[in-house]
Amino acid sequence: MNRREFLNSTAAALAFSAWPAAAKPNPEPATGLGLFFDPRDLPRIRRSWSWPLFKDLRDGILTADLASDELFLDKELDPNNQLRHLSRAAGILQRESFAYLMTDQKRRLELARLAIEKVLSFSAWDYFMEAGTDIIGLQRAPETAIAMSLALDWLSPHLDDSTKKRLRDQIAEKGCLPCFRTLFGMRHPQKVVGWSFAPWVKLEARDFSRWPVILDKTNLKAIPISGLAVGAMTLEPGDPRMEEWLEMARHGYETIAGLYERDGSYPEGGSYGDYTTFHLLLTQAVIERKLGVDLFDRLNYNGFVEFMLSLQLPHTAEPKACVNFGDAGSGLQSAVSFYVARKTGDGLAQYMGVEHPREHNPFSVIWHQPEVVVHKPDAAHHLKHWDLDWLIYRTGYDLDDLVVAMRSGGPANHEHADRNSILLKAYGEVLLADSKHPTYDHNNAGWVLRSSPAHNTVLIDNQGHQYHDGREGTNASLAEARIIRSGRRDGFVYWTSDATPAYQLVLPDVDRVLRSVFIFSDAPIVVIIDRLTKKNQPSVFSAHWHVENSDGRGSVEVSKDAFVMRRPAANFYARCVSSIALNITAEKMPVPTQVGVHPYARVGTSSPSKEHTLMTVGVACRSGQAPPVIALGEQGSIRIQADSGVFQARVNNIDQSPFMERI
């Protein structure tokens, strides 16, 4: 891969020239306060910095252990350790550059200057290579390019000309060029010789042969886009590399925008969506400011913020958690919400940033516009059927509110084998849980926590649906499911998911795998009906139900036809009825204790069959409340006596297309 090869691409040659005249690179280099705000904005940003809203961010920055950081930079840093030491040094640099911008404290400026020198001492800013010779930028190079660009921007009046030149040179050579190579490889995978770890990092070799194709549709594409875009804006006027680098950044931006569904939902889930969207907004913001081109409407950012709001899952063990389908278990940085609110005046985005931030960062302060009026979501937002075919229902956004979520839909990077799996949170406790962020290493015993048995879903002959073996990473499987009906009725919400294709990839004899869910929020009561059928050979069917136990305070109790999930503040009482006799047992996932203890209830048929209908009726109660009395009769009748009163309903057509009727 070289410049001549790139410029010979017709698409590349035409794409940048197609930008409007306003999009040509600014003839002036980005010096002073120029990349993300004007000098006249600094008083406003400093006022926002002082707001109570940003107290945690402010306290974290102002109480940082500067002596420890200085010792690390001065004595402990290894300039060949890009994996950890470069990341820490770049983090110190970005924090201290912003701290000086806010406080004018000389000590912060001195530490930032030291960090600049130490980052400049690295021979390379990443530890991945193409063809065994050229560094490519996946995370460390773009992270470092952004941090160094911000330092050049924010500290410019306090840096001598020699330092500024070294910064520009290394941002270009060690930051932008590796990011460009990465994006070129994703754009033209057939021209990639082969990606690998750099030899000096001494990491176990992995099969990266398909990574240019795989990573092209993941969050790891977003950061080299932003590193390239931000870094390119620091080049000297007339630098011949700028046009091709910015064309590549824009191409990357517009192609990764296609990962988002039209409604703004993002397939890798919460934390990865946050990571992707934040870096795309860095790209959007710097290109709009410096080139006059607005790329905001290439994707539905407002919808994405609402998507992240719908994933909120605050509970006692993790107050800032979100629905953790796959590896994604944390929420949205307020910087994303505040940019969207500032750009569009969206009060719901402002609400998300103010009331439900995972954390604040310097861009939260830079992009916060207090004049945008907060709009609190109403009940119309409580049931969300996203284009991903993810369903989330809630009664509100507070700790005690009910949340029920189902993972249907198609494959995605960082997914688990979790089609038709359900999460349930009530009274501050996750009572039906997924394991949080299990290992990425397929050789680790904890890999099994990514499989179907580790989720609240069904097994056929003790097998879940299709999943990959992990040798290429945490990439997407082939497993498909889809929501075939969903909606509201008087007093309840409902949906049905069909995961048949996902299971047929493992067991071709499978005929149907359907799960129907009915939620009555007043108790709250959840009715789950699994309909499993085979074409020819009888099978044993089972469903697994897991309780949150990351803090060691969850437990499972079972009886002949029932199970109880216990947490300190709440319990989930469930009773099961089946077309075949059941065995219900309390089990633990087969992993070493250092990986965690993962208790679950297994509800399985006692004999093989070609058809099986299992109805599970559960009631969430606060600890200390009397256990509900759940009676399940013939023809799908349900009667529950609980502290909240008597609940009666009937399931019609239970063995075909079940639907609820409250009586």
pLDDT in tens, 226-235: 999 999 999 9
Given a cut of 60, whether residue 13 has pLDDT beyond it is no
Q: What angle do CA 397, 401, 402 make, to 5 degrees?
A: 115
Q: In whole angstroms, how far apart are CA 384 and each of 91, 303, 525?
A: 37, 12, 19
The architecture of the domain spanning 3-379 is Alpha/alpha barrel (1.50)
Residue 336 and residue 312 in contact, taking contact as beta carbons nearer than 8 Å: no
Candidates 628, 518, 521, 528; CA nearest to 572 is 628
pLDDT confidence of residue 33: 62
Residue with tokens 């349930």: 424
Residue 239 and residue 154 in contact, taking contact as beta carbons nearer than 8 Å: no
Q: CA–CA separation, 70 vs 67, rounded Å?
A: 5
At the top level of CATH, the class of 383-662 is mainly beta
Q: CA–CA separation, 48 vs 496, rounded Å?
A: 46
Alpha helices in 445-528 (DSSP H): 500-504
Q: What is the mean pLDDT of the chain?
A: 94
Given a cut of 60, whether residue 11 has pLDDT beyond it is no
Please report the beta strands in 281-367, taking only residues with DSSP state E, as ranges in sequence order.
Answer: none
Q: CA–CA separation, 620 vs 622, rounded Å?
A: 7
Phi, psi angle pair for 627, to nearest 5°: -60, 140
Give 379-396 pLDDT, tens digit per residue.
999 999 999 999 999 999
Residue 634: pLDDT band with limits 50, 70, 90: confident
- Lowest mean pLDDT: which of 156-160, 180-184, 329-333, 583-587? 329-333
Residues 6+ apart with CB under 8 A from 360: 53, 54, 56, 57, 333, 334, 335
Given a cut of 80, whether residue 7 has pLDDT beyond it is no
What mean pLDDT is predicted for residues 90-113? 99
Strand partners, 483: 497
Candidates 121, 123, 228; CA nearest to 172 is 228
Give 105-138 pLDDT, tens digit per residue.
999 999 999 999 999 999 999 999 999 999 999 9
Residue 84: pLDDT band with limits 50, 70, 90: very high
Residue with tokens 């005929």: 511
Given a cut of 50, whether residue 15 has pLDDT beyond it is no
Give 416-468 pLDDT, tens digit per residue.
999 999 999 999 999 999 989 999 999 999 999 999 999 999 999 999 999 99
Here the tokens at position 460 are 């056929």
Where along the chain do the CATH 1.50.10.100 domains lie?
3-379
pLDDT confidence of residue 9: 37
Given a cut of 90, whether residue 3 has pLDDT beyond it is no
Strand partners, 529: 516, 615
Tell me which of 76 and 202 has the higher pLDDT.
Answer: 76
Tell me which of 590 and 203 has the higher pLDDT.
Answer: 590
Given a cut of 60, whether residue 31 has pLDDT beyond it is no
Given a cut of 90, whether residue 660 has pLDDT beyond it is yes
Three-state SS annotation for 379-431:
HHHCEEECCCCEEEEECCCCCCCCEEEEECCCCCCCCCCCCCEEEEEECCEEE
pLDDT confidence of residue 5: 42
Residues 6+ apart with CB under 8 A from 275: 219, 222, 223
pLDDT confidence of residue 32: 60
Residue 25: pLDDT band with limits 50, 70, 90: very low
* 529 residue type, one letter: I
Where along the chain do the CATH 2.70.98.70 domains lie?
383-662
What mean pLDDT is predicted for residues 167-181? 99
Residue 559 and residue 584 in contact, taking contact as beta carbons nearer than 8 Å: yes
Here the tokens at position 265 are 């939902």
Give 525-574 pLDDT, tens digit per residue.
999 999 999 999 999 999 999 999 999 999 999 999 999 999 999 999 99
Q: CA–CA separation, 147 vs 97, rounded Å?
A: 9
Residue 578 and residue 615 in contact, taking contact as beta carbons nearer than 8 Å: yes
Residues 6+ apart with CB under 8 A from 564: 556, 557, 558, 571, 572, 573, 574, 627
Residues 6+ apart with CB under 8 A from 444: 595
What mean pLDDT is predicted for residues 300-304? 99
Given a cut of 80, whether residue 285 has pLDDT beyond it is yes
Residue 165: pLDDT band with limits 50, 70, 90: very high
